[in-house]
């Protein structure tokens, strides 16, 4: 049975993962669409840059974000002048989670966009529909499985984010301590039973998310084969 503190950690983690996923949706959709239509030079470079969070150590990403957002950093100074505090707040957790999960949203969505027959878009345009109208009424509905898959993968990655978060947000109970940080803190202080209980909870949530993602992906693959 979970304690009140553990439930609070769970809800904070789910809330952070939800906010980070929603935050990257507009930019992720735009990036995926542009990459799916870009055939010129430089595409590989842009894709590589966007994919860096997948291969870089999370601590390296967290250190970079910390240098940018600290009060002495270029972005941090501007935010501080506006009275906005990010480092060691829940905003930092959302930012770290969003940065680490962004590539997992873009990749399946870009693939879904690339599978749309260009002639369908061209026909819609000849019928007098504007680019935005075509995108909202035709492209996105036809790509919904890629969008859902990408969003679930991004949410799952945000759920377990640790390395970048611990550097830019710390592990402050009730403020920035998510499930992964709580597990580490309890294991480090010898509370192994609590750490194991939280680990099992994380496994259950992650299993549900990945099972749903796999189910959607399998259905999409079967549809393409038929």
> Span 54-70, mean pLDDT?
94
User: In percent, how much of the chain has pLDDT > 70?
Assistant: 96
CB 202 within 8 A of CB 14: no
Helix, strand, or coil (residue 191): coil
Instruction: Give the residue among 76, 57, 56, 55 at the shortest CA–CA distance from 65.
Output: 76
- Interatomic CA distance for residues 196 and 46, integer angstroms: 40
**Measured distance CA(120)–CA(133) in Å, rounded:** 13
Q: Which helix (H) or strand (E) holds 89?
A: none
Cα gap 154→23, rounded to integer Å? 11
Given pLDDT bands bounded at 50, 70 and 90, which one contains residue 219?
A: low
Q: What is the pLDDT of residue 25?
A: 96
Average pLDDT of span 53-72: 93
Structural domain 4-225, CATH architecture: Orthogonal Bundle (1.10)
Q: What is the mean pLDDT of residues 10-15?
A: 94
Model confidence pLDDT, tens digit, residues 112-155: 999 888 888 888 888 878 888 889 888 999 998 899 999 999 99
Domain spans of the chain, in order of start:
4-225
Distances (CA, A) of 143 to 81, 97, 208: 42, 24, 22
Mean pLDDT (whole number) for 20-43? 92
Query: pLDDT band at 53, cuts 50/70/90?
Result: very high
221: confidence class by pLDDT, cuts 50, 70, 90: low
């Amino acid at each position: 049975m979970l304690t009140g503190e553990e439930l609070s950690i769970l809800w904070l983690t789910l809330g952070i993962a939800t906010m980070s996923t929603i935050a990257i949706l507009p930019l992720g959709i735009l990036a995926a669409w542009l990459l799916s239509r870009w055939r010129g030079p430089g595409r590989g470079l842009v894709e590589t840059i966007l994919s860096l969070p997948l291969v870089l150590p999370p601590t390296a990403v967290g250190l970079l974000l910390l240098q940018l957002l600290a009060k002495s950093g270029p972005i941090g100074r501007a935010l501080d002048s506006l009275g906005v505090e990010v480092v060691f707040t829940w905003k930092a957790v959302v930012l770290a989670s969003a940065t680490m999960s962004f590539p997992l949203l873009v990749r399946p969505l870009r693939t879904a966009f690339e599978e749309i027959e260009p002639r369908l878009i061209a026909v819609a345009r000849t019928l007098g529909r504007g680019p935005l109208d075509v995108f909202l009424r035709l492209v996105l509905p036809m790509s919904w499985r890629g969008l859902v898959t990408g969003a679930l993968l991004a949410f799952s990655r945000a759920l377990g984010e640790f390395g970048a978060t611990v550097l830019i947000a710390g592990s402050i109970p009730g403020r920035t301590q998510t499930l992964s940080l709580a597990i580490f803190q309890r294991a480090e202080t010898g509370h192994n039973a609590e750490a194991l209980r939280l680990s099992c909870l994380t496994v259950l949530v992650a299993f549900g998310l990945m099972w749903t993602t796999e189910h959607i992906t399998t259905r999409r693959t079967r549809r393409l084969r038929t």
